[in-house]
Amino acid sequence: MAEAKYTEQEMLMGCLKGRPEMQTALYKKFARTMFGICLRYTRDTMEAEDVLQLGFMKVFTNLHTYQGGSLEGWMKRIFVRESIDHYRKTNRSVFGHSLEAEEDHAVDLHDIVGQMAAEEIVAMIGTLPEGCRMVFNLFAVEGYNHQEIGEMMGISNGTSKAQYFRAKELLREKIYARS
């Protein structure tokens, strides 16, 4: 594999110097992971591929601002933001009015979920309505809080909480229907 012959530091320095082979190596090393992020926030693979390309353009343009730490973590933040920006640019209004989230009812689904394959769970998340899917991924997968999600998505904290609650309820229904 071509990407394995360079260290992350070599790729980083080469990209900063504008070396195409280092940009290719960096792309090959991280494209699969970043594509997974893009898929979580888009409707289909074509849309995810567009966001992936835009994200890498942003990575290469802003690589000089990287200040150390996890390069992959830095890149993931760029791809999440790029996915959100893409979502907002398409002018999709799927959130409706703001609702305060109801109290979450803890339902023990550990036994059922423990028997499911990761691909099956990811597929279920992918079937959620867009607003729910976006908020669920940002909160449960990426670890953003509702205030941060609200700021990124241009929605209120209450709407974020309501969408997350709805996503959990829909997933719960899908899991029970499966068993």
73's tokens: 């973590």
Would you list the domain boundaries of the chain? 2-89, 110-178
Q: How far is CA 53 from the centre of its chain?
A: 15
Return the CATH fold of 110-178.
Arc Repressor Mutant, subunit A (1.10.10)
pTM, two decimal places: 0.65
Residue 110: predicted pLDDT:
46
Answer whether 2-89 and 110-178 agree in fold. Answer: no
CA distances from 134 to 6, 159, 178 (A): 35, 12, 23
Residue 105: predicted pLDDT:
36
Residue 116: predicted pLDDT:
53
Its CATH architecture, for the domain 2-89, is Orthogonal Bundle (1.10)
Residue 107: predicted pLDDT:
41
* CA-closest candidate to residue 154, choices 101, 109, 87, 63: 87
Residue 157: predicted pLDDT:
87
* pLDDT per residue rounded down to tens, the chain (179 residues): 444 689 999 999 999 999 999 999 999 999 999 999 998 888 888 988 999 999 999 999 999 999 989 999 999 999 999 998 888 787 555 454 333 333 343 344 445 445 556 677 778 888 899 889 999 989 988 889 999 999 988 899 889 999 999 998 998 888 777 76
